[in-house]
Amino acid sequence: MGFKRFLVNKLILFFMLSTLITVAIVIIGSAFDPEAQFGYRDMLVPIEYAALCMLPTLVTYSKRELSPKALLVRKVIMLVLIEGVILFIAFTSDVIDTSRIEVVLTIAGSVLVIFVLANLFVWLKDAAEAKKLNRELEAFQKLHG
**HSE of 14, CA atoms in CB hemisphere, 13 A:** 13
Secondary structure in 3-state letters for 24-46: HHHHHHHHHCCCCCCCHHHHHHH
Distances (CA, A) of 115 to 14, 92, 108: 12, 22, 11
pLDDT confidence of residue 131: 96
User: Nearest CA to 1 among 10, 92, 135?
Assistant: 10
Q: What is the pLDDT of residue 7?
A: 87
* Res 27: pLDDT: 95
pLDDT of residue 45: 93
**What number of residues does the chain have?**
145
With a CB cutoff of 8 Å and minimum separation 6, the contacts of 122 are 9, 12, 13, 16
- Return averaged pLDDT per consecutive 10 residues of the chain, 145 residues in all: 84 95 94 90 93 92 89 96 96 94 97 96 93 94 85
Whole-number pLDDT of residue 60: 86
Residues 6+ apart with CB under 8 A from 108: 83, 86, 87
CB 90 within 8 A of CB 96: yes
Residue 65: the pLDDT is 87
C-alpha to C-alpha distance for 124 and 63, rounded to whole angstroms = 22
How far is Cα 34 from Cα 29, in angstroms, rounded to an integer?
6
What 3-state class would DSSP assign to 61?
Answer: coil
- What integer pLDDT is reported at residue 38 of this predicted model? 85
